[in-house]
Chains A and B, each alone.
Chain A
Amino acid sequence: MSGLEATHPAGQGATSPVATRRAAASPIWRGGLGAASVWISAAALTVLWPDLTPWARTSLLATVQAVLGLVLAVLAVAAPGSRRLARIKPLAPWFAALPVILTVWQVLTAKTGLLPLPFFPPPQSILEVYTDDSGRLVESIVHSMLLLLPGYLLGGLAGFGVGVSVGWSRAISYWAHPILRFVGPLPATAWLPVAFFFFPGTRSASTFLIALSTAFPVAVLTASGIGSVSAGFYDIARTLGASKRFLITKVAIPAALPHVFVGLFMGLGASFAVLIVAEMMGVKAGLGWYLQWAQGWAAYANLYGALIIMALLFSGLISLLFAVRDKALAWQKGMVRW
């Protein structure tokens, strides 16, 4: 047709010829090579500077650092143009900073003892936790996930259902909204003693509380998402003869989905808190329990080791949620993100 206002959607994001030429001209990934040298230096320092009191895993730490350095070096030299590598290339400063942080930590603890034991264990002692207590840690991770995931999924579904009903129906909103507003702000952990009393076991009680902590933000945000759908979207569908069912499933819910994902994100954070507290208070398994057990033995290396695993696990779950969101909300690309 006219083509007057035609702008091709694929026109954006193409690499400029200048950038391509520069990348082609440089046969190695300099940042990666730099980071590799820092890792290898850190490994050398680990071996060459003797520990104040010898630690069992100092040589393993040095090996791990050296291997990481070698892997980076190989990647930097052998495959500098690969597509996958292009994604991690901007992280080169972080790859270089990590061994520096590890070294500072090691120097302050194992090498000089400036930070006192047992509160400040060196990195090699945390490595020791992973090699020597891996069985208990893996078991704890499995227990935590088996408690968290069913509760989270249950709560997410329930919250979504409640949110859609409250957002759509004025009658349901009249009764449910005040209850949500009144009971919702109570932290789910406050229910813990009551839940342990009412439920047959600590496990079912904890699952319920995790579901509760997830459901509240999901319900509130889903309802507000459905409430804020542009009236024009409904008008269009109504003139085209849409049924109520079409209006809910094909207009209201897709339009509210960005809000739903904010709720799922907040619910995930809340569910982590409930999980750990529940495991500390009642359920005698999982990472929360491991933390408490380690504290009871003043095993600070185990404590930090478990915290690091927890951070990796929880941030991994959040990344997973974001990946699902990016897939479900691909149509939003270029619009406002959070």
Chain B
Amino acid sequence: MTVALASTVANDAAPGLALQIRGVSHAFDTKTGPLQVLDDVTFSVEAGEFVALLGPSGCGKSTLLRLISGLDAPRAGKLGADGVRIIGPDPSRLLVFQDPTLYPWRSVRQNLAVGLETRGVARQQAHRVDEVLKLVGLEAFADALPHELSGGMAQRAALGRVLVNDPRLLLLDEPLGKLDSLTRMTLQGELLKIWQTSRFTSLLVTHDVEEALLLAQRIIVFSDRPARIVCELEVPLSYPRHRDDPTLVALRREILVSLGHGHDL
């Protein structure tokens, strides 16, 4: 208890949020009837943990993130944050989408300040915007408009817009999915660094096995739609990790087998 308090004071950052997912199922209504996307999903995430949700594209992982963010409510099951049932969006649980979805009429700085404005603290906490601009490396582009940014910079701004609010849980919905491989590698490193210093809980949805292995402490593998948990793996390696590490190569093989891609082409 004393240790936890001391670290809170020292870091000045909100500690991570623990997550409880219990028997969650979800479906969408389509013209041809209900489309099941999540099937009885149960798992937990500890405070400050970095967990990857891995599975084929379109399997329903993103839906799960929307449920955790509180944007949608599940058809069945319960979702809890620190033991409290999730019933709606909350600035402590924030999403980063695959598309940056920056407001094109706002400059980078104004985009980062959106969360402060909605909470009515834009004036008092303006310094947070400057801090985060520096953190995501966009100081020089603070007054640029979104259409002037490259894909990587736009995604950094989107990440910054979330970080300004000191989230306790970061929901990353394939945030690097549309970037070129070099930018992607750079941003993976930066994301990891930010997570290591801020210690929020991270939940990363991805279909990239390597990305999951490089970033996450634990990987939950999902089946094709409707998404069901296939297996869970710990990644027992410290950071920074190397792509060619034999442990990672072995884990990669194990994951591919579990996804039905065990044979070489």
Interface residues of A (CB under 8 A from B): 1-2, 4-7, 9, 230, 232-233, 235-243, 246, 250-251, 254-255, 257, 329, 331-335
Chain A, Cβ-Cβ closest to B149? A9
Determine the chain A residues whose CB is within 8 A of the CB of B115 once the complex forms: 240-241
Given A1-B137, A9-B141, A235-B71, decide whether A241 and B153 contact each other with a Cβ distance below 8 A. Answer: no
- What mask results when residues 147 to 161 of chain B are scored 1 for a CB within 8 Å of chain A, else 0? 111111100000001
The answer on a CB contact under 8 Å between A240 and B165 is yes
- Does B74 sit at the interface, judged by CB under 8 A? no
Determine the chain B residues whose CB is within 8 A of the CB of A241 once the complex forms: 89-91, 115, 118-119
Closest chain B CB from A246 CB (angstroms) = 6
10 A-B pairs (CB sep. < 8 Å): A1-B190, A4-B183, A5-B151, A9-B144, A232-B99, A236-B101, A243-B118, A332-B104, A333-B145, A335-B147
Determine the chain B residues whose CB is within 8 A of the CB of A236 once the complex forms: 95, 97, 101, 114, 161
- Does B195 sit at the interface, judged by CB under 8 A? no
Tell me the B21-73 residues at the A interface (CB within 8 Å). Answer: 66, 69-71
Task: Report the bound CA distance from A238 to B104 in whole Å.
Answer: 17
**Most chain B CB inside 10 Å of its own CB: which residue of A1, A4, A7, A332:** A1
- Does B5 sit at the interface, judged by CB under 8 A? no
Task: Report the bound CA distance from A243 to B101 in whole Å.
Answer: 19
Closest chain A CB from B155 CB (angstroms) = 10
Determine the chain B residues whose CB is within 8 A of the CB of A242 once the complex forms: 114, 118
Given A238-B89, A331-B145, decide whether A5 and B183 contact each other with a Cβ distance below 8 A. Answer: yes
Task: Report the bound CA distance from A235 to B115 in whole Å.
Answer: 12
- What mask results when residues 92 to 127 of chain B are scored 1 for a CB within 8 Å of chain A, else 0? 011101010101111000000011011100000000
Residue from A6, A237, A333 in contact with B147 in the complex, judged by beta carbons closer than 8 Å: A333
Residue from B95, B106, B186 in contact with A239 in the complex, judged by beta carbons closer than 8 Å: B95
Determine the chain A residues whose CB is within 8 A of the CB of B71 once the complex forms: 235, 238-239
Determine the chain B residues whose CB is within 8 A of the CB of A332 once the complex forms: 104, 147
**Most chain A CB inside 10 Å of its own CB: which residue of B136, B161, B186:** B186
Task: Report the bound CA distance from A318 to B141 in whole Å.
Answer: 34
- Does B265 sit at the interface, judged by CB under 8 A? no
Determine the chain A residues whose CB is within 8 A of the CB of B101 once the complex forms: 230, 232-233, 235-236
The answer on a CB contact under 8 Å between B118 and A4 is no
Task: Report the bound CA distance from A333 to B104 in whole Å.
Answer: 10
Shortest 8 CB-CB contacts between residues of A and residues of B:
A1-B137, A9-B148, A5-B152, A240-B115, A232-B101, A5-B150, A242-B118, A331-B105
The answer on a CB contact under 8 Å between A246 and B145 is no
Closest chain B CB from A329 CB (angstroms) = 8
Closest chain B CB from A242 CB (angstroms) = 4
Closest chain B CB from A249 CB (angstroms) = 11
Residue from A230, A239, A246, A334 in contact with B93 in the complex, judged by beta carbons closer than 8 Å: A239
Determine the chain B residues whose CB is within 8 A of the CB of A246 once the complex forms: 117-118
Given A1-B190, A2-B137, A4-B183, decide whether A240 and B147 contact each other with a Cβ distance below 8 A. Answer: no
Chain A, Cβ-Cβ closest to B183? A5
Task: Report the bound CA distance from A232 to B183 in whole Å.
Answer: 24
Chain B, Cβ-Cβ closest to A243? B118
Task: Report the bound CA distance from A332 to B147 in whole Å.
Answer: 8
- Does B1 sit at the interface, judged by CB under 8 A? no
The answer on a CB contact under 8 Å between A240 and B94 is yes
Determine the chain A residues whose CB is within 8 A of the CB of B183 once the complex forms: 2, 4-5
- Does B9 sit at the interface, judged by CB under 8 A? no
Q: A5-B151, A238-B89 are in contact. List 19 more A-B contacts (CB 8 A).
A: A1-B186, A1-B190, A2-B190, A4-B183, A5-B150, A9-B141, A230-B101, A236-B161, A239-B69, A239-B89, A240-B114, A240-B161, A241-B89, A241-B118, A246-B117, A246-B118, A329-B105, A332-B147, A335-B104
Determine the chain A residues whose CB is within 8 A of the CB of B4 once the complex forms: none
Task: Report the bound CA distance from A242 to B147 in whole Å.
Answer: 24
Tell me the B153-209 residues at the A interface (CB within 8 Å). Answer: 153, 161, 165, 180, 182-183, 186, 190
Task: Report the bound CA distance from A1 to B149 in whole Å.
Answer: 15
Task: Report the bound CA distance from A254 to B137 in whole Å.
Answer: 27
Task: Report the bound CA distance from A70 to B70 in whole Å.
Answer: 72
Chain B, Cβ-Cβ closest to A235? B71
Task: Report the bound CA distance from A237 to B95 in whole Å.
Answer: 11
Closest chain A CB from B182 CB (angstroms) = 6
Task: Report the bound CA distance from A254 to B107 in whole Å.
Answer: 13
The answer on a CB contact under 8 Å between A5 and B153 is yes
- What mask results when residues 125 to 142 of chain B are scored 1 for a CB within 8 Å of chain A, else 0? 000000000001100010
Closest chain A CB from B216 CB (angstroms) = 22
